[in-house]
Amino acid sequence: MKTKRVLIVGGGSSGWMAAAYLNAVLNQGARKVADVSLIESPDVPRIGVGEATVPNIHHILTAIGIDEEEFMKRVDGTFKQSIRYVNWLENKGEFYHHPFSRFRPSPIDWSAHDWLRSDRSIPFTETVSMQAIVCELGLAPKMFGAWDLGSPLTYAFHMNALKFADYLSELSTARGVTHYVDHVVDVDMQENGDIAAVKTRSGQRLEADLFVDCTGFTAILIEKKLGVKWVDCSQWLLSDRATTMHIPYEEHYPGFVRPYTTASALSAGWVWDIPLQGKRSLGYVHSSAFLSDEDAERELRAFEGAHSESLDSRIVRFKVGHREKAWVKNCVAIGLAGGFIEPLESTGLYLSDLATIMLTEHFPRGDDLAPMAYRFNRVMANRFYEILDFINMHYCLTRRDDSEFWREIQRSERTNDRLKAKLEFWSVKPPSAADFEDQFFPGMPTTPLPSSHASGDHRPPIDTAGLWSHESYEAILYGMDFLRAECDEWFGKNRPKPRVLPHIYEALTKAAKKLPPHDVWLKKKVGMQNYPTSPGAKR
């Protein structure tokens, strides 16, 4: 079988993740399926923000052959066990967690039914998982010795995305990936509409059988050359930029490293707070239609405190949507070139991760790319809309009315029709695994995917629970007090306290004694420095 030449255009996390994964999985031992090269421009500035991931990141690290502790050392990594949502419901200091681990009673799980009939005085996730309390206690998800607390806690990571790209570049080039540092100035086409080669400023002409567009929103191959349209989804997610800032621990160290991501709602969006080993990364994701860049910066600094006044900030602009097709002819768009959803559930790297895995699984052995492109596009579009619905749900359940942004986001037209059908169904029964077996709820629209003009495909997008199961939906729904008024009417207001599963009490008691503080684990295992706690620091 002839080795196919793959040229990845664009670096960054997406480009180098694709290079490292394709090379590691397709080329093993004497087998060489793909000759992988990557070209990145020296002119394109690198945007460095803290990156949060989801647990799927473990697959790609394992496939590439990356040791977890070495990875954390190289990328300033910390553990992420949950997302803590603050002030999303009423802006009164309330919060809830979306943890990664949950205990599942068997043979039947009635946890949601029981909680809906309770007085809700204990958050839902705390009745089914110890991880929210582990997070609030600031504990790591791993012990120093062998794990002996039953099922291990599921976790992901926070990382420095620039260092991650550099680490992958180092590994990839050492293992045979060709690296070009040059600027693409033109693209040559074949008569059949495929891309033939890219031309560079230095005069090189780089040919390939398959091109991967990782050039971000610039999309020089998929859009500028092939003309593939962008499907705008900003009707349901209004934010279009982020004001970002780093808080070095030399400037301000709170005395701990949170083992979770924080998403705090402000007047026109929300702020991510991602803790790394040497700094915290903040980003105010907001809508420019409701808040100017200047006011966003002022609000972010006020949110963080006086110690942030002298620190630099920058604006990162983005658009929410996706390509009609991510794979067209012999070009595959990965990363921002293929689509973007605001990072409320840390899906930025995940979508690049998924696209890379799907490309590897659907890697064409012959010359006919169409069948592989067809399936790749279907899978990626399904997952995009699954994520879109899930993020949209965080907003539409709010009861905030303290700003124009939060009032606008509650309007019916800001909730997409697929999500409306889900919420209507889940007002009759709690989410369950069966909802993802054949997901088509009463009232769900039959509008086909934008890419489904392909012959014979007129299906709407569906969820597969490939990223979030019914348990994740429950965490958000009940964290946002879903069906409060209805339950008052159905079950009365004088209801019993929630029942916490005995297993949770037992596991949490042991965990509090055996799990080290997150910062202590980081210092001992991956070499995090010691920083003095800043005066007036608050938890």
All structural domains of the chain with their residue ranges: 241-317
Rg (CA), the chain: 24
End-to-end CA distance of the chain: 59
d(Cα 306, Cα 287) in Å, to the nearest integer? 24
More confident residue, 105 or 15: 15
d(Cα 186, Cα 180) in Å, to the nearest integer? 16
Retrieve residue 79's tokens. 């553990």
Nearest Cα to 20, choosing from 2, 8, 32? 8
pLDDT at 346: 94
Q: Residue 441: is its pLDDT beyond 90?
A: no
Q: Over range 107-118, report the average pLDDT.
A: 93
Q: Residue 491: is its pLDDT beyond 80?
A: yes
pLDDT at 539: 64
Q: Residue 285: is its pLDDT beyond 90?
A: yes
| Catalytic annotation, residues | 80
d(Cα 360, Cα 274) in Å, to the nearest integer? 30
Q: Residue 187: is its pLDDT beyond 60?
A: yes
List strands edge to edge, sheet with 195-200: 184-189, 195-200, 205-207
Strands 241-248 and 313-317, by their bridges, are antiparallel
Q: Over range 395-399, report the average pLDDT.
A: 97
pLDDT tens per residue, range 330-374: 999 999 999 999 999 999 999 999 999 999 999 998 889 999 999
pLDDT at 440: 81
Cα angle, residue 492 at apex, residues 490 and 496 outer, rounded to 5°: 115
| Residue 128 near residue 103 (C-beta atoms within 8 A) | yes
pLDDT tens per residue, range 197-219: 999 999 999 999 999 999 999 99
Task: Categorize the per-residue pLDDT at 443 as very low, low, confident or very high, splitting at 50, 70 and 90.
Answer: confident
Instruction: Tell me if the bond preceding 107 is cis, omega within 30° of 0.
Output: yes
- At residue 171, the 3 state secondary structure works out as helix
d(Cα 279, Cα 291) in Å, to the nearest integer? 27
pLDDT tens per residue, range 153-183: 999 999 999 999 999 999 999 999 999 999 9
